[in-house]
Amino acid sequence: MTATLTATGTTPAGTTPRGPRGLVWSVLRVHRTALVLWGLALTAATAGLIWMYVIADEARRAYLPCSEPVAADGYPSCSSLDAITADDYYSTGIALLTSALTFAIFPVAAWAGGALIGRELESGTALLAWTQSVSPVRWLAAKLAVPAVLLAAGTGALVLLNRWAQTDGNPNVVGDWYGPDVFVGIGPAAVGYVLAGLALGALAGLLVRRTLPAAGAGFASSLVLYLVLDHFRKDLWPKADRSQAGELELPRSAWQVDWNATWGRYPGEGTPRFTSATFHPRSHFWPLQLVETGILLAVAATATLAAFWLLRRRTP
Amino acid sequence: MTTVVTIETSTAVAPSRGPRGLVWVMLRVHRWALWFWVLLVAVGAGALLFVHGPGTDAAWSEYRAMGCDSPEVGQACDYSGPAISRLGLANSLGGLLNFVPLLAAAWAGGALIGRELENGTAQLAWAQSVSPARWLAAKLAVPAALLVAGTTLLTLLHRLAWSSAAPLRSIVPWREWYDDDIFLANGTLATAHALLGLAVGALAGLLLRRALPALAAAAVGLLVLTQALGSLRPYLWPVETLTQKGMYPPYTGMVLDDGALTSTGARVEDPLCINDTKCLADHDIVGFYRDYHPSSHFWPLQLVETGIVLAVVALAVLAAFRLLRRRTGAAV
């Protein structure tokens, strides 16, 4: 609390010679712990992804065809490939960082609800700031813009690094593109998620005006958003259909949504007479990503507008 | 903040019935948490009862109707019908039990201890006729009792649902007894972990004395502790070993390690000869072994781990009381 008072109270008057000033500076200063944690997380993730890129080729070697004992056909021996440990580190590391990108929305929303808005309204430091030369609208704009820029830049950079470290995106090594923990972390939707989390958290903070309930409400609302999008993701773009007589096998990279077989006299025995499948081919990755990102940005914009409207109504 | 202050005064008015004094204050201040807990237990219990009864029956008859129980199971069984999906959803709701420790840690760090120390309502309480040690004892005992009651109920129901879904385990995403979440929910560990969450949260709250940092530290601390304790699990009871000549013994139970055996009985890494007899002879491989825990090790593993977790809980509680005594300097 002391820190907050110092930051908002004295700094705008006692001009800092360099670096960010005024509101931006006070937001950075009050939330310096969050800033440091975000910086540490970004550094650790960047270092991890660079390491992943370094061992990427070695990890892929473990998935080459092999033979035992080594035959004249030129395949490497299976025990030599089995001895490679890089593939375990690589797959685990990529999976960890990709899911961290997917789930970043939850701590962001809880923080925005609790620390960014809720605490300031509960302890009255927001009201103090408004009696200085900062209007409530400018206060909220700074509170949202500074974290939004930092979050979008950091997440965007990590997504690009992640795609770079995944090199060829071999699904045996890095997981299928449509996996619930994979999809978000390899496209622009990751940025959409953190921004939506920030806006939902801020709205929760303004609605509840108390630290812990706001953190809980921010977390819960982002959880609902995440679960809803996860459930309806397959319906965000028209699906492809394929049907043929007999068996049907889709390529590995296809996201199978529905599968139906017409059987002869004895269901489940032998081969089916006719098979049809509904699926998303690999080429649907970008349309699905862009539609989901669009929805997330719309949610973020709506929540931000609602937050400003609420603030306007609350303050004269 | 207003609520808390009101409560401190209303204790003086002494309610005529029900719990009194500190216990009543606890329940009143944290009534939202209490309602949330009641709701969570109710949802989890309802889902587990559904799995135990109608859910499994419906999925089973749907499974039969698809012709999946014929001896030669065909591809049609790849298809999951609405009853089977419903059963899967109910299972995941029953799995809410696995999030209780994390919620307990976050709540205990943030709302139970951290907020009171940050706002000064704890100091206000100590200025009344409540000593700091009694204050902390009530703060820990009341939630502990409620957590034990709720998790015990959910554990019992989970065991019931687990046993009745046995024939369906191959088709619903409902896994083996040694999977982390199943292992936790089927025994005493669920309760021990919930108490661990409470103790870690309280310690974090007393250490940091601010609501949000304590909440975050408690959640992270609990995740780290749970991971560390869980990684010990396979080594808490002696393993059993299966050996077989010429080929691998059957894959069963919680497998820890497997490999090849030479003629002297030494364990070596499998040279991956598959069926090449010359290769096997070159490497002097006569058989294969597999270290595993059979399902009969469930209770020994469960009880040893519960003992360890409870010891950690006791340490955390002890540390919390010592910290409080050093901070307040009061004779307890």
Q: Is residue B84 part of a domain?
A: no
- Residue A242 banded pLDDT, cuts 50, 70, 90: confident
Q: Is residue B278 part of a domain?
A: yes
What are the pLDDT digits (tens) for B180-228?
Answer: 888 999 999 999 999 999 999 999 999 999 999 999 999 999 999 999 9
Please count the helices (runs of H) and the strands (runs of E) in chain B: 14, 4
* pLDDT, position B183: 92
Estimate to the nearest angstrom the gap between the alpha carbon of B22 and the chain centroid: 29
Q: Is A227 helix (H, G, I), strand (E, B) or coil?
A: helix
Sign of the torsion formed by the C-alpha atoms of B26, B31, B35 and B36: negative
Q: Which of the residue ranges A123-132, A252-261, A282-291, B50-59 has the most confident prediction, judged by mean pLDDT?
A: A282-291
* pLDDT, position A251: 80
Least confidently predicted of A68-82, A160-174, A250-264, B270-284: A68-82
Estimate to the nearest angstrom the gap between the alpha carbon of A180 and the chain centroid: 11
Which residues of chain A lie closer than 8 angstroms to B75, CB-CB? 247, 261, 268, 272
Q: Is the model's pLDDT at A167 over the cut of 90?
A: no
Expressed as residue numbers, the domain containing B277 is: 240-296
Does the beta-carbon distance from B74 to A212 stay under 8 Å?
Answer: no
Which residues of chain B lie closer than 8 angstroms to A107, CB-CB? 216
* pLDDT, position B23: 87
Q: Which residues contact A276 (CB under 8 A, 6 or more apart)?
A: A241, A242, A243, A244, A248, A259, A260, A261
- Residue A84 banded pLDDT, cuts 50, 70, 90: confident
Q: Is the model's pLDDT at A280 over the cut of 80?
A: yes
Least confidently predicted of A44-48, A169-173, B73-77, B228-232: B73-77
For chain A, give the percent of residues with pLDDT over 70. Answer: 89
B82-94 helix and B56-65 helix, angle to the nearest 10 degrees: 150
What are the pLDDT digits (tens) for B4-50?
Answer: 444 444 444 444 566 678 888 888 989 999 999 999 999 999 999 99
Does the beta-carbon distance from A211 to B115 stay under 8 Å?
Answer: yes
Sequential DSSP letters for A59-74: HHHTTS--BSS--TT-
- CB interface of B with A, residues 189-228, below 8 Å: 211-213, 215-216
Shortest CA gap B216–chain A (Å): 9
Phi-psi region of B101 (alpha: psi -120 to 50; beta: other; left: phi over 0): alpha
Do A98 and A185 touch, CB atoms closer than 8 A? yes
State how far the alpha carbon of A246 is from the alpha carbons of A264, A272, A276, B77, in Å.
11, 5, 10, 16
CB-count exposure of residue A241 (10 Å: 0-12, 13-18, 19+): exposed
CA distance B315 to B202: 12
Starting at the earlier edge strand, list the strands of the sheet with B285-293.
B240-245, B285-293, B254-262, B267-268
B211: tokens are 């609501």
Q: For chain A, what are the domain ranges?
A: 2-13+22-54+87-235+283-314, 237-280
Shortest CA gap A307–chain B (Å): 22
Q: Is residue B42 part of a domain?
A: no
A42: tokens are 């970004």
* pLDDT, position B2: 44
- Of the candidates B290, B23, B45, B47, which has an alpha carbon nearest to the alpha carbon of residue B144? B23
Q: How far apart are the first and last CA of chain A?
A: 26
CB nearest B279 (choices: A69, A114, A215): A69
* pLDDT, position A12: 46
For chain A, give the percent of residues with pLDDT over 90. Answer: 57
Q: Is residue B281 part of a domain?
A: yes
What are the pLDDT digits (tens) for A91-106?
Answer: 999 999 999 999 999 9
* pLDDT, position A86: 85
Question: Which residues of A sit within 8 Å Cβ distance of B?
Answer: 33, 68-69, 78-79, 82, 107, 111, 114-115, 119, 122, 211-213, 215, 247, 259-261, 263, 266-270, 272
- As for the ipTM of the complex, it is 0.76
CA distance A285 to A294: 14
- Residue A265 banded pLDDT, cuts 50, 70, 90: low
* pLDDT, position A314: 86
Low-confidence ranges of chain B (pLDDT < 70): 1-19, 66-80, 169-174, 330-332
Beta strand pairing call for B254-262 and B267-268 = antiparallel
CB nearest B212 (choices: A215, A247, A268): A215
Q: Which residue has the tokens 């090849």?
A: B260
Q: Is residue B76 part of a domain?
A: no
Q: Which of B119, B272, B280 to mutate to test the interface with A (most CBs of A within 10 A)?
A: B272
Shortest CA gap B270–chain A (Å): 8
Q: Is residue B304 part of a domain?
A: no
Does the beta-carbon distance from B77 to A268 stay under 8 Å?
Answer: yes
Phi-psi region of A167 (alpha: psi -120 to 50; beta: other; left: phi over 0): left
* pLDDT, position B22: 84
Q: How many domains does chain B have?
A: 1
Q: Is residue B247 part of a domain?
A: yes
Amino acid at B132: P
